[in-house]
Amino acid sequence: MATAAARDTAGSPTAFDAPAGPVGTEAFQRAFDAAVAADERIEPRDWMPDAYRATLVRQIAQHAHSEIIGMQPEANWITRAPSLRRKAILMAKVQDEAGHGLYLYSAAETLGVSRDELLDKLHAGRQKYSSIFNYPTLAWADVGAIGWLVDGAAITNQVPLCRCSYGPYARAMVRICKEESFHQRQGYELLLALSKGTPEQHAMAQDAVDRWWWPSLMMFGPPDDESQHSAQSMAWKIKRHSNDELRQRFVDICVPQAESLGLTLPDPDLRWNEERGHHDFGAIDWSEFWDVLKGNGPCNEERLSRRRTAHEEGAWVREAAAAHAAKHSNDTTGATRA
């Protein structure tokens, strides 16, 4: 990987006023800080602190990996979707997720890493993906619960990222959030159809919400006092709100939605707090969260192994495409668009 400084020696245009003199000096740090403070966007060819670059690579890669691994629990139901309309919606959604993965790997690549390198790290277990995808989809209603709760939590997390200080990530998030909110509405609508359907369908919907509620709340990450990256990310304007703030916002949004769905949320301590103007809710089982994060969740093993298998079994296809492209690099007649 080229160093940050090497990339900037070409005198490329910058979003903020780059100071004169050698790259990477304190003057650059001050100009960077001023640009972030002024809510300017940092762009790929701008100078940036190494730690800022590393944090973004980590976060964007993890985000991309989550889209890719996140295809699995839903793809689990594509071949069993109960109507052709639902099947089309689900296929389109899983396809969108692959597309989101592609946007995000592209955004990460602007920071000087390659998609292959990031995928290798995912496969080796050296980069994480969202712990929510280590839960199994045991019934059709889970597809709805994922749409409503998991995508709902993702949107709550991601909408502020549309204003993130790093331009390519922020722009990817604008596109992704539009599609995610569509998925979220479709998930809600799926659950509503079940909730208003037969008693068996209603029970299926309630069971799915019971199983997905707490894991969804864990998607916002550890409590603020245990979140190791939060303070720095907020200072860099990569993150705009704390984990606990976003979690509270999500709970406040979900409570009335659950009511109109005719479903209950599995938390006896959940109640409106007039004084705070927010819902109070019960304690999260953080030991489960850390277990899943450490690889001991219900599907960690399957998810990663499936991903590795797809990659390994596809190796000959990728090699063929590369070999074909190399043989025909001088062709003028197509067939080289690998």
Partner 1 sequence: MTTTPSADTVPTAAALALGDDALVLSHRLGEWAGHAPVLEEEVALANIALDLLGQARVLLSMAGDEDELAFLREERAFRNLQLVEQPGGDFAHTIARQLYFSVYQHLLYDRLASGDGPFAPLAGKAVKEAAYHRDHAEQWTLRLGDGTDESHTRMQRAVDALWRFTGEMFQPVEGIDGIDWPRLESVWREAVEDVLGRATLTVPDGPRSGAWRAGAGRQGLHTEPFGRMLAEMQHLHRSHPGATW
By beta-carbon proximity to partner 1, the closer residue of 143 and 159 is 143
Q: Where are the alpha helices (DSSP H) in 110-219?
A: 115-123, 141-145, 151-158, 167-195, 199-218
By beta-carbon proximity to partner 1, the closer residue of 68 and 258 is 68
The answer to whether 283 contacts partner 1 (rule: CB under 8 A) is no
By beta-carbon proximity to partner 1, the closer residue of 92 and 234 is 92
Tokens of 132: 């929510």
**Secondary element (H or E) of residue 280:** strand 278-280
The answer to whether 306 contacts partner 1 (rule: CB under 8 A) is yes
Q: How far apart are CA 64 and CA 100, in angstroms?
A: 7
Q: Which of 2, 38, 283, 315 binds partner 1 (CB under 8 A)?
A: 315
| Torsion, CA 7, CA 10, CA 16, CA 17, rounded to 10 | 140
The answer to whether 314 contacts partner 1 (rule: CB under 8 A) is yes
CB 130, min distance to partner 1, A:
16
The answer to whether 301 contacts partner 1 (rule: CB under 8 A) is no
* Interface pattern 55-94 for partner 1 (x via CB under 8 A): -------------x--xx--x--xxxxxxxxxxx--xx-x
Q: How far apart are CA 240 and CA 151, in angstroms?
A: 19
Q: Which of 44, 99, 136, 266 binds partner 1 (CB under 8 A)?
A: 99
CB 204, min distance to partner 1, A:
9
CB atoms within 10 A of CB 1: 12
Contact 45, 8 (CB under 8 A): yes
Residue span binding partner 1 (CB under 8 A) among the ranges 11-19, 35-43, 171-179, 187-195: 187-195
238 CA to centre of own chain = 14
Contact 261, 159 (CB under 8 A): no
Residues that bind partner 1 (CB under 8 A): 68, 71-72, 75, 78-88, 91-92, 94-95, 98-99, 101-102, 105, 140, 190, 193-194, 197-198, 200-201, 306, 309-311, 313-321, 323-325, 327-328, 334-335, 337-338
